[in-house]
Amino acid sequence: MIQQKRNNFNSEFDLVQLQQLKEYILLNKHLTIVQFLGYFHLALMLFDFIHQLIASKDIEVVMNAIFMHFKLL
């Protein structure tokens, strides 16, 4: 009887732990997707910066474009 109660408690405890682990993994997966999107956005900004610098050959135009980009964020 005591052993059965202990087994029931352990299985419930294991289910709670598994549920918490599942939530933790899903949360971390979500964070990694957000981090990936952030890095992708930074890469696009860097590419845009280099492209504008090559196209305009004027640093003031490039700096104004970057400032406007951050102002829109």
Residue-wise pLDDT tens digits, 22-70: 777 777 777 678 788 888 888 888 888 778 777 777 777 777 877 777 7
Q: What does the pLDDT read at residue 13? A: 65
Q: What does the pLDDT read at residue 8? A: 53
**Any idea where the domains of the chain sit in the sequence?**
2-72
Look at residues 70, 43, 60 and name the one whose alpha carbon lies nearest to residue 52: 60
Higher-scoring residue by pLDDT: 4, 27: 27
Q: What does the pLDDT read at residue 72? A: 64
Question: What residues contact residue 45 under an 8 Å CB cut-off, 6+ apart?
Answer: 66, 69
CA distance 50 to 53: 5
